Amino acid sequence: MIDVQNLTKQYAGRIAVNNISFQVEPGQIVGFLGPNGAGKSTTMRILSGYMPATSGSARVAGFDVFQQSLEVRRSVGYMPEMAPLYTDMRVKEYLRFRAELKGLSGHAMRKRVGEVMELTGVNDMRRRLIGNLSKGYRQRVALADALVHQPKLLILDEPTNGLDPVQIRHVRDLLQNLKSKHTVLLSTHILHEVEQTCDRVVMINNGRIRANDTPQNLAAQMRSTTLLHIELDAAGKPAQKLTALPGVRKVAEETPLAQPWRRFTLRIEPGHDVRDAVIELATKQNWRIREMHRQLPTLEDVFVEFALNSGAPSDIPTHIL
Amino acid sequence: MRIFWILLKKELHAFFVSPVAYVVLALVMILNGFAFRAALSILESAPSEGSIVTWTFHAMWFWLSYFFIFPLLTMRLFAEEKKLGTLETLFTAPVRAWQVVGSKYLASVIVYCILWIPSLLNFEFAEWISAGAVEVPSGAEQGAYLILVVMGMFNLAVGCFASSLTSNQIVAAILSFTLSLLHFLIGIFIMVVGRKLSDTVVNVVGYFAATEHIRIFTNGLIDSRPLIYYLSLSLLFLSFTHHVVEFRRWRP
């Protein structure tokens, strides 16, 4: 659906996107992640046919974004960042205008506008002036606009920005339902969203792609962040014994709990699972365990690592413990 | 072409749901009322070679309205969309740049033409009320409104261009006002220093002067040269606007 090859975009001496390549298969929801100014919006603008790349090529639905801009724009539903809308139009009026612009007409247009208003939950607001709508509703009107011509590809630049938690959940469900009909490329800062919604994550920083994988694999790749929290009743120095277990990199004792309970946090090497070994050790040493909890690295951890470091994931210094 | 009409409808809608069209209409009606009154009083005081049409469009009031109209009608066109960010939504829909530029321009021309209808009625009413005592020569009338429309088309194209250059409506308005004013000042230049210059210079400069064109046409002389002059300049400025709008796509 999307085929980006060696795409570069320069603004007056500053490189926004630096030689990136990636592909998106039809029917996928792909999350585009990266800190502010990483080049996400620029890439999305190029893909939606708004501006050309400095070099490299991008094809959307088989069309070149520069040479066949009109065809690309017909097959893409784009929702820009901040959801710019004409403030002096009413919701229904605006959506009808946009639907006509995108080639719908007559009864089919009116029916479709009714559908997307229902789908995005702006039906109650259809007679309101867009200028008087709250941020959340404007965002949804922009989403309805992106959907109205049933595009093959949806490009959504921070679609959940400025929404309340209920609305965010609504948008997430909506995207899941759209998956069967549309391919979705969305950018967001809410990593929780990506983990729950996306099939694949493309991480970008300083105009370069840092990672391109499933959210689960990305999290698993992280070497530093698998943690094991244990609360046990043990005399002496259990930390030393725990450190001796294969796969344990470091053990730290947390703030003391009520006697006799003590709490330890273990940092685990990637690819190791030491839970069985810990139980065995405890049985041998006659420790009592009342809690053991493994904390898998979240995408947020990965994201922070990427944002703070420009290097590849393997040479990221550990920051936890 | 279908896209063009959809965009035109939207642009006209934008003019008439916002106060812009009505404010400009009111302003033009008031100033033209004064211009018409001034013309009547000239004809009252002494016999004159010029008709009521000639004097109306030579009144200071007319020129005052002339300068206000174009910035007010055109400053919004692109600057507002740039400010709101809607240019991005607009150009990610399957529309071509000429459709956008053309529809915005044509909408402003249509509104501009509507602005002059009340002043046209002034003449009709004067003739009707005075039972023909106030003579409105039809040639002068047709000539005056023809040159008004064509001069308007030129100034609106200039305003369109000014608006496409900036995202600030005030800057767009001042720019379009300045360009219109410079064009007008050519005529004043001839009036002030004309006697000191050779006839050739005066004649050549006169070809470009809006005041000269108004003088010729309000006397009922329909000259094709100013028409071609204004229409070709309109096209030139529209193509500049098109280039500015498309520049985004070609910028290295």
Please indicate whether, in this complex, the C-beta atoms of B248 and A51 are within 8 angstroms of each other.
Answer: yes
Please indicate whether, in this complex, the C-beta atoms of B92 and A50 are within 8 angstroms of each other.
Answer: yes
B77 interaction partners in chain A (CB closer than 8 Å): none
Backbone torsions φ then ψ of A187, nearest 5 degrees: -110, 145
B19 interaction partners in chain A (CB closer than 8 Å): none
Interfacial B residues in 16-55 facing A (CB < 8 Å): 17-18
Helix axes B60-74 and B138-165, enclosed angle (nearest 10): 40
CA A157 to chain centre: 11
Residue for token pair 């936890």:
A320
The pLDDT tens digits along chain A (321 residues) read 889 999 888 887 788 888 899 999 888 899 888 877 788 888 999 999 888 888 888 999 889 988 888 899 999 999 998 889 999 999 999 999 999 999 998 999 999 999 999 988 889 998 999 999 988 889 889 999 999 999 999 999 988 877 788 888 888 888 888 878 889 998 887 777 777 788 888 888 888 888 888 887 776 665 556 788 888 888 778 888 888 888 888 888 887 777 788 888 888 877 778 888 888 888 888 888 888 888 877 767 767 766 666 544 433 333 333
Q: What is the pLDDT of residue B216?
A: 85
A281 contacts chain B (CB < 8 A): no
Please indicate whether, in this complex, the C-beta atoms of A101 and B91 are within 8 angstroms of each other.
Answer: no
A215 contacts chain B (CB < 8 A): no
ipTM of the complex: 0.86
A82 contacts chain B (CB < 8 A): yes
B7 contacts chain A (CB < 8 A): yes
Q: Which of B86, B91, B94 sits opposite A86 (nearest CB)?
A: B86
Q: In Å, how far is B81's CA from the nearest CA of chain A?
A: 8
Q: In Å, how far is B130's CA from the nearest CA of chain A?
A: 45
Q: What is the pLDDT of residue B103?
A: 96
Please indicate whether, in this complex, the C-beta atoms of A70 and B94 are within 8 angstroms of each other.
Answer: yes
B92 contacts chain A (CB < 8 A): yes
> Could you report the per-residue pLDDT of B202-232, keeping only the tens digit for each?
888 878 888 888 888 888 888 899 999 999 9
Report how far apart, in Å, the C-alpha atoms of B232 and of each of A314, B102, B184, B186 are.
65, 15, 18, 19
B2 CB contacts (<8 Å, ≥6 apart)? Answer: none
Model pTM above 0.90: no
Please indicate whether, in this complex, the C-beta atoms of A84 and B85 are within 8 angstroms of each other.
Answer: yes
B76 interaction partners in chain A (CB closer than 8 Å): none
Please indicate whether, in this complex, the C-beta atoms of B89 and A78 are within 8 angstroms of each other.
Answer: yes
pLDDT higher than 80, residue B250: no
For residues A259 and A253, what is the distance between their CA atoms, to the nearest angstrom? Answer: 14
Q: What is the pLDDT of residue A189?
A: 75
Q: Which of A10, A52, A78 sits opposite B249 (nearest CB)?
A: A52
Please indicate whether, in this complex, the C-beta atoms of B86 and A84 are within 8 angstroms of each other.
Answer: yes
Interfacial A residues in 235-264 facing B (CB < 8 Å): none
Q: Which of A69, A82, A97 sits opposite B6 (nearest CB)?
A: A97
Q: Which of B86, B95, B249 sits opposite A51 (nearest CB)?
A: B249
Is the link from the previous residue into A238 a cis peptide, with omega within 30 of 0? no
| B interface test, pick of A42, A46, A50 with most B CB neighbours within 10 Å | A50
A89 to chain B: closest CA residue: B14
B96 interaction partners in chain A (CB closer than 8 Å): 70
Average pLDDT, chain B: 88
Please indicate whether, in this complex, the C-beta atoms of A50 and B7 are within 8 angstroms of each other.
Answer: no
Please indicate whether, in this complex, the C-beta atoms of A80 and B95 are within 8 angstroms of each other.
Answer: no
Q: In Å, how far is A215's CA from the nearest CA of chain B?
A: 30
Q: State percent of chain B over pLDDT 90.
A: 46
Please indicate whether, in this complex, the C-beta atoms of B89 and A70 are within 8 angstroms of each other.
Answer: no
Q: A77-81, B52-56, B195-199: which has the highest mean pLDDT?
A: A77-81
**How many residues in chain B?**
252
Q: A289-298, B61-70, B72-81: which has the highest mean pLDDT?
A: B72-81
A98 interaction partners in chain B (CB closer than 8 Å): 89, 93
pLDDT higher than 80, residue B97: yes
For residues B172 and B121, what is the distance between their CA atoms, to the nearest angstrom? Answer: 32
Q: What is the pLDDT of residue A314?
A: 39
A54, exposed or middle or buried, with CB in 10 Å at 0-12, 13-18, 19+?
middle
Please indicate whether, in this complex, the C-beta atoms of B92 and A73 are within 8 angstroms of each other.
Answer: yes
> Which stretches within chain B are classed as H helix?
2-17, 20-45, 52-56, 60-74, 76-84, 86-91, 97-115, 117-129, 138-165, 169-193, 199-208, 210-218, 224-250
> Could you report the per-residue pLDDT of B230-241, keeping only the tens digit for each?
999 999 999 999
A45 interaction partners in chain B (CB closer than 8 Å): 88
Please indicate whether, in this complex, the C-beta atoms of B6 and A145 are within 8 angstroms of each other.
Answer: no
Q: In Å, how far is B100's CA from the nearest CA of chain A?
A: 11
B120 CB contacts (<8 Å, ≥6 apart)? Answer: B141, B145
Strands A288-295 and A227-233: antiparallel
For residues A11 and A219, what is the distance between their CA atoms, to the nearest angstrom? Answer: 33
B85 to chain A: closest CA residue: A84
A73 interaction partners in chain B (CB closer than 8 Å): 92-94
